[in-house]
Structure 1
């Protein structure tokens, strides 16, 4: 008798041979069935829009593995045109190519006995995805015709489909947008996509913990650069991470800037328009409603954060300006005009420096004003009419260091439902030296502040599309200005000492309160120039308050800027008159009386 272990080994070997033979037989005979069903599901579930092609299908029922080699999902352009005519066409189409699609560890018995397809993992090798986007207005309206869900398309074959993990690495992605007969494209490379726990059954679509049947979609895009269709600007970032489970989007090293340098930008534009350069280390969106974004292009999020960045705005007055009416274009009015829903609970500004640069068209020098290390929050940033019925104000509370010297704190309140663009703004500026503002005054106005101690500024304002009004307080001392001569051949620039002396002693209040203890409060009632932007109107309104506190009426300002050179000529010519100092004094005195003398009535009004 043979040893028993030989019988056991013989039985095991026989079982293995039988199993292998059964698996081989069913693999060969099931392969055409699976192929037919697979292509049928793709065709029927997309109403004939897509077809599936591949070179080979390797089916191993014993291990529960399937591999598609050189697979391709192809949209049918003829079917798509028919769907456009019947107003059933989606806005987006996909053309997908794969070197291999690998399905691992599915349970055949569950498929046969329970019509349940359970898969451990699916992986895509060398995927190439082309998204074609073509907007159709009929998709903006609510259709009475119900659309089949993914479950409804597969329920005749499977009662449920569950995939634990899907891994898509090194994706080449192309986005093509067709609009008004023009095509623009974006190309991305080396994208990684991970999808966890996909469940398609009768209830999964209504599961609030899932995003389109999934528990999580994680996307990592290592870098991107895109030339905008306007031909002037480009946008880029170093990294983009998207996680639907955490509902977060993270962009790093974000840049929006012209494709050319500043000189080329203005030469090509040939007009004085604002040029913007924006850079941020971090742009983060938290608690974003991805479903609303994808389904309806609505942006609904709990928090948006801009961190560690710069915003540089440029103007060049050497080029012509073609002004347009800016009434009705205030920030809150622009938000209300947006076609898609926007609802951001909070926007956080964290360490952002904003600088405005302007090239003088008269003196050909660039001046700038900066708000450094700005921090703050904007709340209730929305055009949602239902939310605005509860609270109609968008608010902004911001702090920065103006000219990197004085601490400025400003608050804005925007009435989002106002038909006249009503808004409020208030603020304070702490102690600083007035000479810090020479960075913008000298290049643009050929005027410097020789000295000045700003102790405090405070204001409380309201505004509409047409008017800004309110109260302005300016506490300062030892304010002296210096009118400048033109630069000589060596680039040196001297002051107009005599005229500057006259201006400082006869035109400007050197302190507030003055040496008699009289305190001047600015009473602002500013009429907006229709071509001015919202922020330029805010600045002009505050500047009006500064001038009032400094004792500069509109008439005296015009004389200061327009006739200072004449004043110098009077003094210089007087030196050559035979009667000498007496005649100089007489002519200078007449000049002072005629040009720089204060209007008593306006002076009294400003001190009330």
Structure 2
């Protein structure tokens, strides 16, 4: 070997030995300095509320690695009590524990020369986070004391901090809410979190491409189930995915359902209050403003998608219902009453089956009406006064198959700034068989439709808190109604059915005289009726008019029955029953429509 190579090898060996000795010395002597600085940063950034404890800290200067084992970041209860006395205590307090924290590839030279910390990765193994919420009214008002930013907390030690990636696996999270001396909890496990490109410096917080100093946060939460307060309902989902860079949230197999069957639900409540059962395969929010959501609990998004599922609503009229006024409680008016900002450009609904079922208080049978495969969209879903000043209308355009038969298309337009809740709705129903409605008519009213071809239904209506008005067009033929016995055998009441079909209703529209009947609706709202019940009652007025059912026609039936004494004696009871039936039939919104939820 030539002498020059011996010199080169010797010099490299000396350098390696020197660096190793230096790294060993720094690892031993910088450890207490690092520990002191670490605790100082924790103290300064949390106003002495939190303390850090750990079993072991390993520092390898040569590789730029740090490992912290069995670390605990916990609040000091005495400090928290003092903060409560001066009304500066936060509502949320965290207790964080983890098996290990590993920091890889940090540049010690850059720290020493420029006070800049650059880290390749940070890994947290099995973090356990317990968040405790205790409400303080003074946190609802703006504080005169400005809050420190994260950069302001570390700037005396470091000019900047940059971490390329943070990974947290198998995170366990528990939330406890303290109220009136009681604690309500829920917990979820096995959460995976990835944070990409964290930068803390004097400009990063104002960087609009970053979310709280990060370029991207990815969160995956596995199956979750939680029983709501009151013991009636539970919520669950199979998976939650969050991506702050794409500004998306995805929930799969979402359920909001009772924890008991219908009979047990109404028995426990002891009153007729709607039971709801909801399921959606997909619930997605796109371009969601995470900063507005976390800072102010505001929901601001471009698009919400609800796909594949069902909405089932049930009532039981065997139980009492407390009447109350529903004036001012339309869906658009309820949106305006929400305290927190909601600002959604569009809500898309795809393939959702809607069912309303009701147990009759008289016949003890359940009738149902369905709107299958509902699809459509809502636009300008907001309670933002500034946005409503530019466009005051919330609109909905929806399609469904009613009773899985006729195609129904309905449009709604809500004036969000109207003082009396003004709205319009229009729609049309394509051909279907009228007998499809026996699923709700027979169980609730003991009435059956023997035959009937619905050719089309069209309506164009306006309404407010107090009345509804507009045009209703109903084209049909061969309509026959069967009145049934109460013994459950469904035997026709032939005489009554004949009287109804011959003397009370038109079997077609246009009728036998080729007169086309148009419903001119002018319906006064009953204050105790809900918004949707009032809609049904308004449309029902149109149905009655187009079917030729009017007070005059009922009076004509009565006069005909009185034309001869014998006829009076033979038909008096039937006529009274017929009139009573129609009083019931044309108030059947009491039985069919959705009650208070």
For the pair 1:493 / 2:490, whether they are aligned, the reply is: yes
Cα distance in 2, alignment partners of residues 559 and 170 from structure 1: 78
Question: Residues of 1 paired with 2:520 and 2:483: CA distance?
Answer: 27
**Residue from 499, 502, 507 that aligns with 2:504:** 507
- Cα distance in 2 between the residues matched to 1:500 and 1:30: 98
Give the superposition deviation at 1:555.
Answer: 8.6
The Cα of 1:21 is off from its aligned counterpart by 1.5
What stretches of structure 1 of length at least 5 have no aligned partner? 571-581, 598-608
Instruction: Give yes or no for the alignment of 1:516 onto 2:513.
Output: yes
Deviates more, 1:177-186 or 1:42-51: 177-186
How many angstroms does 1:586 deviate by? 6.2
51 and 590 in structure 1: CA distance in 2 versus 1, 3 angstrom threshold: closer
Range that drifts further, 143-152 or 217-226:
143-152
Contact 2:496 2:574 in 1 (8 A): no
Distance across 2 between alignment mates of 1:189 and 1:401: 41
Q: Distance in 1 between the 2:93 and 2:555 partners?
A: 63
**CA–CA distance in structure 2, aligned partners of residues 115 and 441 of structure 1:** 79
Query: What is the CA–CA distance in structure 2 between the aligned matches of 1:441 and 1:557, rounded to whole Å?
Result: 21
Q: Which residue of structure 1 lines up, in the alignment, with residue 237 of structure 2?
A: 237
CA–CA distance in structure 2, aligned partners of residues 72 and 26 of structure 1: 26
In the alignment, what sits opposite 1:426? 426
Asked if 2 retains the 8 angstrom alpha-carbon contact of 1:507 and 1:596, the reply is no
- Report the number of matched residues: 576
Q: Tell me the SS of whatever aligns to 2:318.
A: coil
Q: Secondary structure at the match of 2:279?
A: strand
**Cα shift at 1:517:** 1.2
SS in 2 for 1:215: strand
Q: TM-score, normalised by structure 1?
A: 0.91
Q: Give the direction of change, closer, same or farther, for the CA distance of 1:410–1:180 in structure 2 (3 Å limit).
A: farther
Partner of 2:140: 140
Aligned residue for 1:531?
528
Check whether the contact 2:199–2:213 (CA below 8 A) recurs between aligned residues. yes
Q: Which moved more, 1:347-356 or 1:138-147?
A: 138-147
User: How far did 1:72 drift?
Assistant: 0.7
Shift of 1:585: 5.3
CA distance in 1, matches of 2:133, 2:555: 57
Partner of 1:327: 327
Question: 1:36-70: per-residue Cα shift (whole Å, max 9, x none)?
Answer: 11001101111011111101110101100000000
Q: 1:589 to 1:38 in 2, by over 3 A?
A: closer
Residue of structure 1 in register with 2:595 after alignment: none
Shift of 1:595: 7.9
TM-score (norm 2): 0.93
Query: In angstroms, what is the RMSD of aligned CA positions?
Result: 2.3
* Counterpart contact for 2:504–2:554, Cα < 8 Å: no
Deviates more, 1:249-258 or 1:448-457: 448-457
Taking a change above 3 Å as real, the CA distance of residues 587 and 248 of structure 1, as seen in their structure-2 partners, is same
1: CA distance, partners of 2:309 / 2:516: 40
Say if 2:41 and 2:154, in contact at 8 Å, map to a contact too. yes
Cα contact 2:336–2:383 (8 A) shared by 1? yes
1:323 Cα offset (Å): 2.1
If asked which structure has higher relative contact order (CA below 8 Å, sep 6+), I would say: 2
Match of 1:161 in 2: 161
**Counterparts of 1:557 and 1:50 in 2: how far apart (Å)?**
80
Separation of aligned partners in 1, 2:118 and 2:153: 17
Structure 1 residues 67 and 388, CA gap change in structure 2 (3 angstroms) = same
**Offset, 1:591:** 6.4
- Provide closer, same or farther for how the CA distance between residues 53 and 555 of structure 1 changes in structure 2, counting only shifts above 3 A: farther
Contact 1:506–1:596 (CA under 8 A) maintained in structure 2: no
After superposition, the C-alpha distances for 1:484-503 in whole angstroms (9 at most, x for unaligned) are: 01235xxx321111210111
CA contact (8 A) 2:441 2:448 kept: yes
Q: 1:558 to 1:297 in 2, by over 3 A?
A: farther
Quickly say closer, same or farther: Cα 1:130–1:591, change in 2 above 3 A.
Answer: closer
- What is residue 348 of structure 1 aligned with on the other side? 348
